Structures are given as structure tokens and as C-alpha cells.
Amino acid sequence: MAKTISLWSIIGTLLLLAMACDPEEPRPDPKLILSFEEVFFSHEGEAQEVEVNANLPWQASSSETWCTLSAPSGEAGVAQLAINVAANTGAESRSATITVSIDQVTKNITVTQAGAEVLQLSDSEMEIGENGGEYTLGVTASGIFEIETSPTWLTVSATSQQELQIQAKRNPVLAAREGIVRLKLGGVVQEVTVVQSGQALQVAPDKMGMELDALPLADQILLGWNLGNTLEAASSPEVAGETLWGNPMASQALIDAVKNAGFNAVRIPCAWSGYIEDRETHRLSTAWINRVQEVVDYCMNNDMYAIINIHWDGGWLEENPTYDKQEEVNVKMKALWEQIAVAFRDYDQRLLFAGTNEVRKDYGTPTSEYIEVQQSFNQTFVDAVRSTGGKNSWRNIVVQAYNTNIEHAHNFLELPQDPTPNRKMVEVHYYDPWDFALDGNSNKYLWGKDYEGSANASGWGQEAWVDQMFGLMKSDFVDKGIPVVLGEYGAILRSSLLSVALENHKKARNHYLHYVTKSAMEHGLIPFYWDNGHTGNNGFGLFNRHTTAIVQADAVEAIVSSLD
């Protein structure tokens, strides 16, 4: 029996064939939207995502190997394109292009990465000479950097972004020292350690600027003033401080005022023991040496003469001229004077060194022991200074009589041996009569021939005594070619006196100041008025140390008029 084909089967087959032969649906136009077309990265490198919104499958690529894609393709819809950027170790910024495409439609993402913070120095350590100077430091930097220096003896100036000039001051001490130059650029810090060698203890003699022997140099020092109770302020051999005794720190303006008033020399009493940093070696603080140099420079800036010494200094030196202390004191004194002499070795002849101040055991007539020990201090001072060489081989130096007393100088002083001839001076002080000049509790507030026989005038120490004492110094020393420095003299102002008594006291005091100054000059002594900065009752102060104004114009005139 023949098979028959159902009509519906035929119709169904024809329909399927018809459907199979229909053309394919058209592909939609590509649509591509990116959330960012520009992305920025720091130099450290990181990952960021860009949102891709596409109606068709897409693909992406990067133009640079340092910029990679975690998922470089995706399907239709919304997807995240992860961009990974490696760290940029170079100083320059860089860029890459991310290309995202669907068929012929492309969009670009610009990737920019910052350069690294680069800061490199040509040296991590620099060695410089003891006398300082200027040194070059090479710098490689990707931007503007900050500069810090420590301590203050180092300064830096930038000649360019590639080169710095490091300036170092002279190292005034024997020990080497270190400083730091620090550069900062963002979070990058680089340092160079500057090591400066110390001064040599001994150098060859240098006579430049040291032409004058003691006598002709003394002729140039006309009238001196003491910066008293300031750099020598100390409460013990271990504790010192410039303002400890109530005066402000010395200033250039003060020394200018002193010069303008008519003085051409300044005696600068100094403490040192309280500034020792190592008690075994007696090593001094560089900061304190720098401060004393600063004050000396105030004088040099005015073309004035200056004297520095070891003053009372807590008493370790001044109060111990005894056999049991002799070796200990001389060892310490030698160590200090070697350091002081080295620090000030390059100063010219306008700077003088004075070994001590008023060395005494008591105020009576000294024993042979006291004289012998005190004069050993003078010898230690001379030996220490001369041993350092340089300009110190020729420097004029000042040695003291026992307690700087004129009669003791006449009776006992033997000058120390000195390998440099004609470069020594002698120092004495004068406060006679004591009850007028220094004793604020005394009723002896008058002085001089106009008050002879007064109950308020001392029965000794008047004009004839002044001339007699200074005459001894002239015959004992000045006439033998040895100048004498009258390192201190003066009389207190008893401003608490009333009415006529105060008027007469000022008249007497001014006469005293004029007569003593004039007589000193006439006998060849170099007078240095003692100013302790105290301008109140029983004070010696001529200047207001805070304002630098003259507060006792009559006293200044009495002193300065002696030059006429």
C-alpha cells in the first residue's frame, strides 16, 4: 500500500523552509560611553576603574607596558575597565593611551602619571678645613626643595637647582665639629654631614697686623671703658651667664655709644669656667667662644682696642694663690688660655690678652707663697699664649700685679719670661681711697682739695696720693719701656644723698674722675673706667645698658675731658 503524505506535513515543511530562507536581522550601531576620558596617577602607582557602557562586545588595549588592563574586554552592558599603573621611578611625568573599541568605533582614555620626587646629593659627607670657606654640593631634584642647616656656623646659598654653595665659618676651637645640611622635597629628605677639622694648637708665627710693640701700641689706646658685670657674670666656677648679674646682653649699639662718647678701647672681663663642657679636659663651649668673639667684633667694627681676660670666674683662679692649689690651677689655666688664644689667634694687634684679674688670697700684704704662686699664673698665661703661634707670637699681652694693687706691683712684681721682647704690659687697678670710691656705707662722700678737712672727706688718698701711686708705676715700668694698664678705676655715685650733700658729692666725684684719669695719662698709664652697668645708688654705670643712652653725662664729661 502506497504511503500518502499529509497535506499539513507538506505545508509545515514549506513554512520551515520559508523561515530558513529569511535574511539575517541587521547589527545595531555600536554605542560606547566611558565614565572618564582622562585619568591621573601619582608617581607611586595604583589601580583605577573606568566604567564602560556598551551595546556590543568591546575590547581595550594600552599603548605602554607600564600601564596594563586587568580586563581588556567585555560584553554588552555596563562593565568596569581596571587600569593598573606601575610606580614611576623617574623624575619626569609620563602618559599612556587606553583605546576602547567596538568594531570601527574607538574612544581613548589618556593616562597621566606624575614623576617621582627625586632628590639626590653629590655627597653624603663633606670634610672642610678649620678656617672654613665655601664648598660646592651638587643636587639632582625634581622640584623646589627646602634647605635647613644646623648649627649656625653653616650657611647655604643656592646658585641653581643643581648646585648649592655651603659656607662654613672658621672653627675657633681645637676640637673638630660636625654640622648638617638637610634638604627636603615633599616626603624625600636627604642630608650631608659636614665635618670641620679643629684648629692646630701650634702654627707658624704671623706678624701681619701685629707691627706695634707695647709702647707704641699703648700710645694708640687713649681712653678705655669696662663692659663690667656682663660676660664675666658667674655665681660659681660651674655656673655662669651673661645676664646673671642683672645687665642685658651686650650689643653693637652699646659699644657704638661708648665709642661716640669718646672712648677708644673696651676691657671685656670674661668668665670661662662656667662654660666648660668637659671637666677633665677643660674643653670650652664653642657657643661661648663665639659669643665672646661677637662682642670683641663689636669693638673691632668701631676700630677700637679690646682686652679680654680670665676675670673672677667663680674664684677658682682668683682666690687660690697657694701651694696646695698651684698645680691644679695652672693646669686648668693653661688649658683655658690655649683654647682662648687659638680662638682669637687671627685677630690683629687691636686685641690684647690679659691673663687674670685681681688674684689674691686676702687683702693684706701678701706672703712670699702668695706672690710666688700668683706670678706662676702669669708665667703660665704667657707660655700658653705664645705656644699657639700665629699672631699670638707677637700679640701684646697684659700681666697683673698681686691683687692688681699698685703698692704690691711696686714691691713684688717680677715680670714673667717672654720669648717675644717688648710685647708685655702691666695691669693695676685704683680705687683709693676705698671709703670714698667703693664703700657705700661710709660717710666719706667728698674728695679733693675743695673738701680738705671735711668730716665727709677721707684723710688720705687725695690728689697727691694719686700722683704718688701713678708716679711709682711710671718709674717702675713705663720709663723702662713697659706700659701700664689702669684696668679699673672709678667711684660710686651715691644718688641717695639729698640736696646740698648730693650736689657736693657729684662735684667731688667728677673732680675725682677727671683728676685720676688725667694723672694716669700724664704718668703714662692707660685708664679704663669701671662701669658695672648699675646706674642707681652706689652704682658705676655711665650708660643705660638697655637703651644705650648716657645717664651720667657730667661723669662722662669729667672723664673724657681729660683727653683735652
pLDDT average, residue stretch 524-546 = 98
For residue 20, pLDDT over 80 is answered with no
Tell me the pLDDT of the chain averaged across its residues: 94
pLDDT for the residue 45: 85
**Over the stretch 392-443, which tens digit does the pLDDT of each residue have?**
999 999 999 999 999 999 999 999 999 999 999 999 999 999 999 999 999 9
CB 491 within 8 Å of CB 437: yes
The residue among 9 and 217 whose pLDDT is bigger is 217
**Over the stretch 83-103, which tens digit does the pLDDT of each residue have?**
999 999 888 889 999 999 998
pLDDT for the residue 389: 98
Q: What amino acid occupies position 180?
A: I
Q: Give the helix/strand (H/E) hosting 72.
A: none
Residue 19 banded pLDDT, cuts 50, 70, 90:
very low
**C-alpha cell of 357?**
684679674
User: Is domain 32-113 given the CATH code 2.60.40.10 in the classification?
Assistant: yes
pLDDT for the residue 66: 94
pLDDT for the residue 1: 41
**Over the stretch 442-481, which tens digit does the pLDDT of each residue have?**
999 999 999 999 999 999 999 999 999 999 999 999 999 9
Backbone angles phi, psi at 161, to 5 degrees: -70, -10
pLDDT for the residue 11: 46
pLDDT for the residue 326: 98
**C-alpha cell of 15?**
513554512
What torsion do the CA atoms of 443, 449, 454, 457 make, to the nearest 10 degrees? Answer: 20
pLDDT for the residue 36: 86
- Closest CA relative to residue 150, chosen from 183, 115, 197: 183
Task: Specify the domain boundaries for CATH 2.60.40.10 within the chain.
Answer: 32-113, 119-196
pLDDT for the residue 4: 47
DSSP-derived 3-state class of residue 306 = strand
pLDDT average, residue stretch 24-47 = 88
Give me the percent of the chain exceeding a pLDDT of 70. 96
Task: Determine the topology of domain 119-196 in CATH.
Answer: Immunoglobulin-like (2.60.40)
**Over the stretch 148-164, which tens digit does the pLDDT of each residue have?**
999 989 999 877 778 99
CB 287 within 8 Å of CB 241: no
pLDDT average, residue stretch 332-352 = 98
* 373 vs 166: CA distance, rounded Å: 48
Which is it for the CA torsion 546, 552, 555, 557, positive or negative? Answer: positive
Among 3.40.50.300, 3.20.20.80, 1.10.357.10, 3.90.1150.170, name the CATH number for the domain at 207-563.
3.20.20.80
Using a cut of 0.95, tell me whether the model's pTM lies above it: no
pLDDT for the residue 16: 47
Residue 391 banded pLDDT, cuts 50, 70, 90:
very high
**Over the stretch 244-258, which tens digit does the pLDDT of each residue have?**
999 999 999 999 999
Hey, which residues are catalytic here? 358, 488
Task: Specify the domain boundaries for CATH 3.20.20.80 within the chain.
Answer: 207-563
* 393 vs 538: CA distance, rounded Å: 42
pLDDT for the residue 9: 52
pLDDT for the residue 10: 53
**C-alpha cell of 313?**
670666674
pLDDT for the residue 144: 87
Task: List, edge to edge, every strand of the sheet that includes 46-54.
Answer: 32-34, 46-54, 77-85, 67-69
